[in-house]
C-alpha cells in the first residue's frame, strides 16, 4: 500500500522497483532503481520535528528490504539505505540512521541512531545503537554495539560473509525482475 503521510507527502518510487502489495510505504520515502521491498515491510516517513520538517527515508538502488522489515524515524530525522544493501527479514532500522552501500543487516537486527559504513555485515539478532561503524566491519550474531564499544576490536568482514552478502543482493535483484514479470497474475 502506497499512501500519504498526515502532512500530505507521497512516496516517490522508481518504476523499476518492486513493492509487494502487502508492504506499506508511507510519506516522504524515496525508492530508487531496481529495489525489492518484500511482503509486510513497513517504511514510514511520517513524523515531523517541532518545526514541521521531515527528512526523507531513501532506499538506494539495487537494495532489498525483506519480509517484515520496519524502517521509521523519530521526529523527521533522515534514514538513508545505500546501494546494493540487504536488510534481512524482520530487521528494524530506526532513524536517525545511515546505512552504507554493499551492507548486509541480518534477521531481527536493530539499528538505531547510528551510521553503518560501506561493506559492513551485521549478523542476525545484533543491535547497533548510538555509534558509527566504520566500513567493512563485522558484527557477530547477538552482539550489541553501542557508544561504549571499542570498534577497533571488531573484525573486518571475512570473505565468506562478504560473498554471502553479495549473493543475497544478487538474488533479490533477480526477484525484482521475476515478480514484476508475474505482477497481477493469480
Q: Which of 33, 47, 143, 166 is catalytic?
A: 47
Q: What band does 173 get if pLDDT is binned at 50, 70 and 90?
A: confident
Structural domains counted in the chain = 1
CB neighbourhood size of 159 (10 A): 8
pLDDT of residue 170: 85
pLDDT of residue 159: 86
Question: Is 47 an annotated catalytic residue?
Answer: yes
Report the C-alpha gap between 32 and 12 in whole angstroms. 8
The model's pTM is: 0.94
Which one is predicted more confidently, 53 or 168? 53
Report the C-alpha gap between 87 and 126 in whole angstroms. 13
Question: 185 pLDDT exceeds 80?
Answer: no
Question: 16 pLDDT exceeds 90?
Answer: yes
Q: Which range marks the domain in which residue 36 is found? A: 2-182
> Helix count (H) and strand count (E) of the chain?
1, 21
Domain of 106, CATH number, reads: 2.160.10.10
Q: What is the pLDDT of residues 46-105, one digit of tens each?
A: 999 999 999 999 999 999 999 999 999 999 999 999 999 999 999 999 999 999 999 999
For residue 127, give the H/E element and its range: strand 127-129
Tell whether the torsion through CA atoms of 68, 144, 45 and 61 is positive or negative: negative
Give SS3 for 7: coil
Amino acid at each position: 500500500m502506497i499512501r500519504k503521510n498526515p502532512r500530505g507527502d507521497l512516496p516517490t518510487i522508481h518504476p523499476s522497483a518492486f513493492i509487494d502489495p502487502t508492504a506499506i510505504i508511507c510519506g516522504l520515502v524515496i525508492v530508487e532503481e531496481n529495489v525489492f521491498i518484500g511482503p509486510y515491510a513497513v517504511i514510514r516517513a511520517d513524523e515531523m520535528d517541532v518545526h514541521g520538517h521531515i527528512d526523507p527515508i531513501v532506499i538506494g538502488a539495487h537494495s532489498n528490504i525483506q519480509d517484515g522489515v520496519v524502517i521509521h524515524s523519530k521526529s523527521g530525522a533522515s534514514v538513508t539505505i545505500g546501494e546494493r544493501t540487504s536488510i534481512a527479514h524482520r530487521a528494524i532500522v530506526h532513524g536517525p540512521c545511515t546505512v552504507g552501500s554493499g551492507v548486509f543487516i541480518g534477521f531481527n537486527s536493530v539499528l538505531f541512531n547510528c551510521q553503518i559504513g560501506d561493506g559492513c555485515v551485521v549478523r542476525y539478532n545484533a543491535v547497533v545503537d548510538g555509534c558509527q561503524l566504520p566500513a567493512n566491519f563485522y558484527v557477530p550474531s547477538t552482539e550489541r554495539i553501542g557508544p561504549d564499544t571499542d570498534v577497533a576490536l571488531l573484525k573486518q568482514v571475512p570473505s565468506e560473509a562478504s560473498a554471502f552478502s553479495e549473493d543475497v543482493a544478487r538474488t533479490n535483484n533477480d526477484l525484482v525482475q521475476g515478480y514484476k514479470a508475474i505482477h497481477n497474475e493469480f
